[in-house]
Structure 1
């Protein structure tokens, strides 16, 4: 992905130098990954397990490394691209204005209007404050532990979370949240899967437009995004955690579904191609 030297977004809230309490030292590296996987596919905040002992004191100042600074610049450029793409697509395809999200960068732990944000929760979008929360250390886990490296794999993660913001702008998240509270757990999980797959598709729409508008997509980039989608499918994560995949517990979709819906958006460039709620087959 060609991103260096390009315009960054002004909608970045960088809290990384503020600290916020570190991850616990009592869990080894492999154990941390197992805990993270369990948290991600069960939708549980496992922050207390990772902050139990040996953590850096809350609020201790943090020195940013060269890698931290580079990842901050990368995320800023990616966010700027999503802003330009979605502003244009909302005008062209919907006749609406697009209000950009704010992206919060943090290290270890911070607070959001939706609760605690940590590496344990993974990147997420909070509709209450219209912000995406991201600890860029997640990209290291994605690369080294889940085998989904590459800058476009990281861009896919950002674009997926901005896809949730697009859903919020369209009024979808409020409706689905309310509906999930009225149905059984299995039905609520199915709704969640449709929401997540739609965000994957919207990430694909962004990739289509980024290639056309900026020429920033390079050979192999789409394959990196597809590999990331494959590695973070519910069925794959459950197998990696040593469990038998349980479809009723899926909240994000299988690896095949996540790849297929990303390609649906990437191939069409159309918002209306991402309506997972009317799709007869996910």
Structure 2
């Protein structure tokens, strides 16, 4: 590569980096403005809507968490989301392994059924679902929401994990069988650890829709103390619409956990895929 070619390449790379930085700052600016506003008083925000806080005061967060009950809604969302993802993963892992590794009559039909479940949203069946939950006593319960979300997450989880299981070499299973491993041992100790990048991927794909869902809690829950953060934040906005600093703090409380989870999970995905390539 000649000196002039290297110079052109460096300038092109610098231009690409500048564009990426500019786009990133543009995307992050609204959230940064909300974050800074959450530490400011209403008087400061009215005087200067976009400004740096004079001091990082946590009063807005304390009021939003306790007085406005966002802490209760937040904990409800954490419990429901974790329970739904654990249940969906526990049910989907063996099903994905069977669909990805075994050949049996009707396998394609079963996979097609899961694909249909992926394409058809649960909201379409909200009327019969509501009636069934009413008869089972699951209306206004967190268990009902956990079951709904778990069922909604299973098709995507099976689709991704079965693809990863299918790509694993048969020699791994053959070596484990020669060592005397049972089918359960092969599943838990040999094959499943190798699909951890895919498992992290489906967690990233599923956590956002579950955490941010507004429709199901609104329809299936009746008690204020059982609301999740999306429904609770709507109620919070209606009651504190004039308190801008408090509203900003509420937005950060609702958004920050998912943003942190996405950042950590994406790092694990990239690290797992990179490790697999290096091997």
TM-score past 0.5 threshold: no
Which structure: greater helix fraction? 2
Task: State which structure, 1 or 2, has the greater radius of gyration over its C-alpha atoms.
Answer: 2
Instruction: Give the TM bin, normalised by the shorter chain.
Output: under 0.3
Which structure: greater strand fraction? 1
Please, what TM-score do these two structures have when normalized by structure 1? Answer: 0.26
